[in-house]
Structure 1
Amino acid sequence: MRLAYQYKLLPTTEQKAELNRWLDMLRHQYNWLLQDRFDWWERNRCDINACPLICHLPSLRAHPDYYSQKRSLVQLKKDRPWYKDIYSQVLQNCVDRVKLAFDRFIKGDCNGNRSGKPRFKGKGRYRSFTYTQMDMDCLKGNRITLPKFGDVKLILHRLIPDGFDVKTAIISKKADGWYVTLTIQSHAVPDIAIDIIPTWENSIGIDLGLEKFLADSEKEFEPIPQHFRKSEKKLAFLQRKAAARKKKSRAKNRQYRKVARLHQKVARQRKQFHFETAKKLLNKADVVFVEALKVKNMSRRAKPKQDETGKFLPNRQSAKSGLNKSIADAGWSQFNEILSFKAERAGCLVIEVDPRGTSQHCSECLNRVPKELRDRWHSCPHCGLELDRDTNSAILIKKVGLGVSLTIKRSKRTSSERSPRCTA
C-alpha cells in the first residue's frame, strides 16, 4: 500500500534563499534540456524520403534521449561547479520531467491522448523538486533531513504509521510557504480486495449538478457551496489593486501574493467539502453509482457561427462562459477522484455508468419525458410520477448501474412500442 503525507515546512531565512536558488538552477537546466530536444526534433523529425527536393540538410546528431541527457549532467557539473550543490537525484529527476513532458507531446499518454507543446519555465514557474530516494530515518522529531541540504523544521501534525517506509519526498513552494510530500509504502499491509455484489439495498445513485451539488436516489440533496463565486468580489478587488501598482515593484508582488493565497484558500475549501461529502455518501451505502462525465467536453467554448457573408453571429458564448465557470467551481472531476479514493480505503465500490438518457426518461416507467435544461421538475404524463428532476436522474443512474438499459435507439420509439421492452 502506498500513501502520501504532506507536511508544512518551517525553513529559516537562509534555507528559504537556498531552496529558491535550487529551484532557479533547476529551472534553467529544465529549459536547456527541453530546448535541446526541440532543436533535434525540429531538424530531424522529417523522414529523408519526405523531404523536399531542394533543401538544406543539417548534419545529423544523436537523439538527445533520456540516458544521453542524464550523462550530460557530468559535464554540466564540470562547466558550472555551482550545480554540485544540488543533490544528484534531484538533478536526474529534472531529466525525468523533461522526458515525460516531451513524450506526452510526441507520443501521448497510455490512452493515446497527446498534450500540448511543453512550455519553457519562466521565473517562479518551477515550484518543486523531488528526492527519489529517502533514508528510513529521515524524520527525527519535528525535523526532516534532506540529502545535501540539511535539517529542516516541519509541522508533524500526524505520525508515519508503523510498518511504513518513506520512499520519496517532493519539496514544493506554494502561496503560503514550503511543503514536503512524503510517499510512504508498506508491503505488510496488502491492498484491499473489494468483492461486493451491487444490490438495490446496498447501493445508491448520485446525480451531480450546479443548482445543487448532488442529489441521491434516496431523495436527499447536498447544497452547492460555490466557494469561488463567494470570493469573486474580493478577488476582483485584489486584482485591481495589484494592477494599479508599479510594474515589477515590491508592492505589486506583495498584492499578487495575496491573490495567490486567496486562490489557494478557495481550492482548499472545495477539496475539504469534497472529502466531507464523499464520507457522507460512503456512510449511506457500500456501492455508489456515479455518472461517467466528460467534464472537459462539457466546459468547452461555444463554436463560432457565421452567415453566408462570413459575418459572425451571436453564439451565446457569454452565457456559456458563466456555465463553464460554475462547472469549474463545482469541481466534479476532483470529487469523483476523491470519492473513488475514499471508497477504496473504506472497502466500498464506486461504479461509473453511462449518463445518456438519465435526464430524459422517467425513473418509474422508463418512458421518455423530454425536458429542457431550465426544466427542474420531472412530471411524467405516462405514470403520473412527479419529483425533482435531479432525484429522478439519480434513481435512473442507480437502475442503469444495476442493469436497466436506456439506449438511444429505444428512446426514439413511441411509448407504446417501448414499454414492453423496459425491465426494471
Structure 2
Amino acid sequence: MNYTYRIDPNVVQQTELLEWMETCRGVYNYALRELKDWIASRKCQVDRCSLEKEYIIPADEPFPSYHRQQNNLPKAKKQFPHLGKVHSQVLQTTIRRLHDTWEAFKKRGHGFPRFKKFGQFKSFVFPQFKHNPINGFTIKLPKIGEVPINLHRPIPNGFKVKQVRVLSRVRGTQWYVVVTLESDISVPDVPVHGRAIGIDLGLERFLTASDRSFQERPKFFKSMQRKLKLLQRRAARKQKGSQNWEKAQIEVARMHHRIANRRKDFHLKTAHQLCDRAQTIFAEDLNVKGLTRGMLRTDCVDAAFGQFLSLTEWVCWKRGVYFAKVNPNGTSQTCPSCLATVSKGLEVREHHCPECGYRTHRDHAAAEMVLHRGQENVVSQGLWGTETACQVGLSGVYDLDKWRGAGIPNREAGKPVL
C-alpha cells in the first residue's frame, strides 16, 4: 500500500536531491550503454561484423546482468568519486530499474529501454529502513537529513514503512515522497456480494451506470487550454536557457500539474460514489492505447479512461467492493433485453431494438449489457451466492430449465419436443 505526501526541502536539500537525480541518470545511461554494446557485438556473425561501426566485445565476455553491474558499483566509485555522495542502495535500485525495464521488454517484444535526457529522471528509491523514518512532521532520508513533510493522513496502526520513493515534479520545484507500507495481515480477495451495477465510459457522458445514473465529463484540458496556450506562447518568446525562460517553463509545468491533479481528484471522487451505490461493479476492459490513436484521441486522453479504471479498482479493493472487467466488444451493438444484435453508428445516441421494442439511451443499454456479461462470468465461475448445478454450465441443464419453465412435467423432460 502506497501513501503519497508532499515534502518541503530547503534550498540546500533541493540542490542535493537534484544532484542525486543527475547521478542516478548517469548510472542508468552508463549501464544501458554496456547492455546495448554487448547486444550490438553479437547481433551478427563474427566474420561479417564491421570493424569500424560495431563495438567489438570478446566472445567470452558474459552478459552485463543486474548482479554484475551492481557488483561493479564499488569499483566505479573509486574511479568516479562523485558516485559516493549518493546512497549505495539508491544506485543499486537504479540498476534494478533498468533491468526491470529490460525484462519487461523481452516479455512484450517491443519498447527497448531508452537513454534518459537531462531532466527525464525524476525519481529514486530508498529500498529499506531500519527504523521508521517519519517522526512527527519530518521524514529522515539517509544522507539528506530531516525534511518537513505534510502528513495529511497518519500511518495506520500495524503498518511499517518498507521503502520511500522521492519524486520531483514541476521541473524540480515540487517534491513528493511515495511511502510504501507493509503489514503481516493478509487481506482476502473480495467476493461477489450485494447490489451489482455495470458502467459504460464515453465522451458524451463520462460514465453511465446500469441504474440509469450518469456523470457528465469535465473537460479538464480544454477548459484550461486557452490559458495554457498563453503560457506556452510566453515561454516560446524567451531566450532558451535564460532565467526568464526557465521561469516560463515552470509556469507551463505547473499548469499541466494542476490539470492532472484536477483529473485525478475527479476520478477518485467518482470511484467512491460508485462504491457508495453498489457492492459489485463491472466495467469494460477497454483498449486504452487504441483510443489514444483515433480521431477523438485528444478527448480520450483528456478523459483518461485507463487511469480511472485503475483508480476504481484500487478504491474497490480498499472499500471491500468486488470489481471485474468484461469483454467490451459489441456492448453498444447488443440489446440488453433480448440479446439481439442492433447495429448503429456513433451518431445514433438512442438504442431502439426492432425485435423486442426496448428503447433507452445508447450508453445506458451498453451499461446494462456490461452488467449482464459480468453476471454471466461470475455465475459460470461459481462466484455468485450459493453454487448450484445450473451455475457451473453443465451440459443439458440449461435446456432442462427451459422445459421446466415451459410447464413440461418432469417425466416428459427426457427429450425436447420436435
Letter in 2 for 1:73: L
With over 3 angstroms needed to count, the CA separation of the structure-2 counterparts of 1:258 and 1:115, relative to structure 1, is farther
User: Any idea what the Cα deviations from partners look like across 1:66-98, whole Å, max 9, x if unmatched?
Assistant: 111011111111112222121110111111112
CA distance in 2, matches of 1:98, 1:130: 13
* 3-state SS in 1 of match to 2:41: helix
- In structure 2, C-alpha distance between the alignment counterparts of 1:263 and 1:101, rounded to whole Å: 26
CA distance in 2: counterparts of 1:55 and 1:27, whole angstroms: 31
Q: 2:286 aligns with which of 293, 296, 320?
A: 293
Q: What residue number does 2:116 align with?
A: 121
1:182 aligns with 2:155: no
Residues 133 and 141 in structure 2, CA contact (< 8 A), matched pair in contact too: yes
Match of 1:358 in 2: 331
Q: Who is 2:362 aligned against?
A: 389
2:239 corresponds to which of 228, 246, 270: 246
* 2:38 and 2:57 in contact (8 A); partners too: no
1:316 paired residue number: none
**Structure 1 residue aligned with 2:353:** 380
Q: Is the 2:132–2:160 Cα contact (8 Å) retained in structure 1?
A: no
Tell me which of 12, 19, 22 is aligned to 1:21.
Answer: 19
Aligned partner letter, 2:305: W
Q: Does 1:208 align with 2:207?
A: no
State the AA in 2 paired with 1:247: K
1:161 to 153, 156, 169: 156
Instruction: Tell me which residue corresponds to 1:152.
Output: 147
- Structure 1 counterpart of 2:412: none
- Note the C-alpha offset of 1:54: 7.5
| Match 2:257 to one of 264, 268, 282 | 264
Query: Does residue 139 of the first structure (1) align with residue 134 of the second (2)?
Result: yes
Q: Determine the C-alpha separation between the residues in 2 that align with 1:280 and 1:53.
A: 64
Structure 2 SS opposite 1:213: strand
Give, as a single letter, the amino acid of the residue that structure 1 aligns with 2:260.
Answer: A
Closer, same or farther in 2 for the Cα pair 1:222/1:26, shift >3 Å?
same
Say which of 365, 371, 383 aligns to 1:398: 371
Residue 72 of structure 2 aligns to a residue whose secondary structure is helix
**1:4 correspondence with 2:2:** yes
Counterpart of 2:84 in structure 1 is: 84
Q: Contact 1:4–1:182 (CA<8 Å) still a contact in 2?
A: yes
Q: Give the Cα–Cα distance (whole angstroms) in 2 for the partners of residues 252 and 366 of structure 1.
A: 59
Q: Check conservation: 2:31, 2:95, Cα contact below 8 A.
A: yes
Deviations 1:138-194 (A, max 9, x none): 11111111112221121121211111110001111111511111101111x321332
Cα distance in 1, alignment partners of residues 252 and 230 from structure 2? 9
Give the gaps of 5 or more residues in structure 2: 378-401, 406-418
* Cα distance in 2 for residues equivalent to 1:289 and 1:100: 32
**Residue type of the partner of 1:286?**
Q
| Alpha-carbon separation, structure 2, partners of 1:11 and 1:23 | 15
Aligned mates of 1:383, 1:23 — CA distance in 2: 63
- SS of the residue 1:368 aligns to: coil
Residue 102 of structure 1 corresponds to 102
CA distance in 1, matches of 2:74, 2:150: 36
Determine helix, strand or coil for the equivalent of 1:402.
helix
Specify the code of the residue in structure 2 equivalent to 1:251. N
* Identical counterparts, % of pairs: 35
TM-score normalised to structure 1 length = 0.84
CA distance in 2, matches of 1:80, 1:6: 34
Aligned to 1:59: 58
Say how many residue pairs are matched: 372
**Matched residue type, 1:202:** R
How far off its partner does 1:58 sit? 5.2
More deviation, 51-60/83-92? 51-60
- Could you tell me which of 267, 271, 276 is aligned with 2:269? 276
Contact 2:6 2:177 in 1 (8 A): yes
Between the aligned partners of 1:351 and 1:23, the Cα distance in structure 2 is 39
Aligned to 1:71: 71
Change (3 A) 1:203 1:58: closer
Amino acid at match of 1:401: G
What's the secondary structure of 1:180's corresponding residue?
A: strand
CA distance, structure 1, for counterparts of residue 87 and residue 66 of structure 2:
19
- Confirm whether residue 327 of structure 1 aligns to residue 300 of structure 2: yes
Shift of 1:114: 3.1
Which ranges in structure 1 are unaligned for 5 or more consecutive residues? 302-319, 405-419
CA distance in 2 between counterparts of 1:95 and 1:58 reads 21
Would the aligned equivalents of 1:135 and 1:166 in 2 still touch at CA under 8 Å? no
